[in-house]
Amino acid sequence: MLPDLGAELERRIVDAVHAALDVEITPEQAVIRPSAPGRAADYQCNAAMPLAKRLGRPSREIADAIAAHLDTTGLIADVAGPGFVNLTFTEEFLAAHLAALAADDRLGVPEQAPLRVVIDYSSPNMAKEMHVGHLRSTIIGDALVRLHEELGHEVIRQNHLGDWGTPFGKLVEHLVDEGLTSGELSIGDLNEFYVQASRKFDADPDFAERARKRVVALQAGDPATLDLWRRLLEESKRHMEAVYALLGVRLTPADYMGESACNDVLGSTCDELVAKGLAMPSEGALCVFPRGFTGREGAPVPLIIRKRDGGYNYDTTDLATIRYRSQDLKGDLLLYVVGAPQALHFKMIFAAAREAEWLAPTSTATHVAFGSVLGSDGKVLGSRKGAGLKLADLLQEAVTRAAAIVADRSELSADEQAEIARAVGIGAVKYADLSTAREKDYVFDWDRMMSMDGNTATYLQYAHARIRSLIRKAADSGAGDGSANLLLAEPAERALALKLSQYPAAVTAAARFAEPHRLCTHLFETATAFSTFYETCPVLTAGDAVRASRLALSTHTARVIRHGLALLGIQAPERL
Ligand code: ARG
pLDDT above 90 as % of the chain: 81
Number of domains in the chain: 3
What's 58's domain CATH number? 3.30.1360.70
- Select the more confidently predicted residue: 129 or 353: 353
The pLDDT tens digits for 560-569 are 999 999 999 9
186-195, 327-336, 461-470: which range is least confident on average? 186-195
The pLDDT tens digits for 249-273 are 989 999 999 999 999 999 999 999 9
Residue of the nearest CA to atom 5 in ligand 1?
A: 123
In a domain, 292, yes or no: yes
3-class state of residue 55 by DSSP:
helix
What's 153's domain CATH number? 3.40.50.620
The predicted model gives 384-395 an average pLDDT of 69
Q: Which atom of ligand 1 is nearest to the CA of 161?
A: 1
The pLDDT tens digits for 396-455 are 999 999 999 888 777 888 899 999 999 999 999 999 999 999 999 999 999 999 999 899
The predicted model gives 376-382 an average pLDDT of 83
What is the pLDDT at residue 98? 97
- Distance from the alpha carbon of residue 123 to the mean position of ligand 1, in angstroms: 5
Q: Is the CB of 125 under 6 A from ligand 1?
A: yes
The pLDDT tens digits for 41-79 are 999 999 999 999 999 999 999 999 999 999 999 999 999
- pLDDT at 385 exceeding the cut of 60: no
Q: Is the CB of 474 under 6 A from ligand 1?
A: no
**Whether residue 361 is found in the same domain as residue 273:** yes
SS (H, E, C) 69-124: HCCCCCEEEEEECCCEEEEEECHHHHHHHHHHHHCCCCCCCCCCCCCEEEEECCCC
In a domain, 441, yes or no: no
The candidate with the shortest Cα–Cα distance to 520, out of 455, 463, 443, is: 455
Confidence tier at 144 by pLDDT (50, 70, 90): very high
- Distance from the alpha carbon of residue 11 to the mean position of ligand 1, in angstroms: 42
The pLDDT tens digits for 186-230 are 666 777 888 899 999 999 999 999 999 999 899 889 999 999 999
Residue at which a domain ends, from 207, 224, 253: 253
Full-model pTM: 0.95
**Whether residue 262 is found in the same domain as residue 240:** no
**Whether residue 132 is found in the same domain as residue 267:** yes
**Whether residue 271 is found in the same domain as residue 350:** yes
**Whether residue 121 is found in the same domain as residue 61:** no
Confidence tier at 370 by pLDDT (50, 70, 90): very high
- pLDDT at 531 exceeding the cut of 90: yes
- Distance from the alpha carbon of residue 160 to the mean position of ligand 1, in angstroms: 6
Q: Is the CB of 120 under 6 A from ligand 1?
A: yes
**Whether residue 153 is found in the same domain as residue 175:** no
Q: Is the CB of 336 under 6 A from ligand 1?
A: yes
In a domain, 449, yes or no: no
Burial (0-12, 13-18, 19+ Cβ within 10 Å), 124? buried
Confidence tier at 475 by pLDDT (50, 70, 90): very high
In a domain, 473, yes or no: no
**Whether residue 68 is found in the same domain as residue 30:** yes
Cα end-to-end span (Å), the chain: 35
Q: Quote the DSSP letter at residue 162.
A: B
Burial (0-12, 13-18, 19+ Cβ within 10 Å), 86? buried
Structural domain boundaries enclosing 245: 166-253
Using an 8 Å Cβ cutoff, are 550 and 539 in contact? yes
Alpha helices in 303-453 (DSSP H): 314-323, 343-355, 391-406, 414-434, 446-449
Q: Is the CB of 123 under 6 A from ligand 1?
A: yes
CA-based max dimension of the chain: 86
Give the integer Cα–Cα distance in Å for 288 and 278: 6
What is the pLDDT at residue 386? 41
Confidence tier at 170 by pLDDT (50, 70, 90): very high
Burial (0-12, 13-18, 19+ Cβ within 10 Å), 24? exposed
**Whether residue 11 is found in the same domain as residue 73:** yes
- pLDDT at 456 exceeding the cut of 70: yes
In a domain, 338, yes or no: yes
**Whether residue 303 is found in the same domain as residue 200:** no
In a domain, 178, yes or no: yes
What is the pLDDT at residue 82? 81
Q: How many CA atoms lie within 13 A of 190 on its CB side?
A: 24
What is the pLDDT at residue 387? 47
Residue at which a domain ends, from 355, 374, 393: 374
Confidence tier at 388 by pLDDT (50, 70, 90): low
Confidence tier at 481 by pLDDT (50, 70, 90): low
What is the pLDDT at residue 408? 79
**Whether residue 136 is found in the same domain as residue 207:** no
Which of 342, 348, 366, 372 for a ligand 1 pocket mutation test, highest count of atoms within 8 Å of Cβ? 342
In a domain, 291, yes or no: yes
Mean pLDDT for the chain overall = 93
In a domain, 135, yes or no: yes
Q: How many CA atoms lie within 13 A of 5 on its CB side?
A: 31
**Whether residue 267 is found in the same domain as residue 145:** yes
pLDDT above 70 as % of the chain: 97
**Whether residue 170 is found in the same domain as residue 55:** no
Residue at which a domain ends, from 230, 253, 276: 253
Backbone angles phi, psi at 240, to 5 degrees: -65, -45
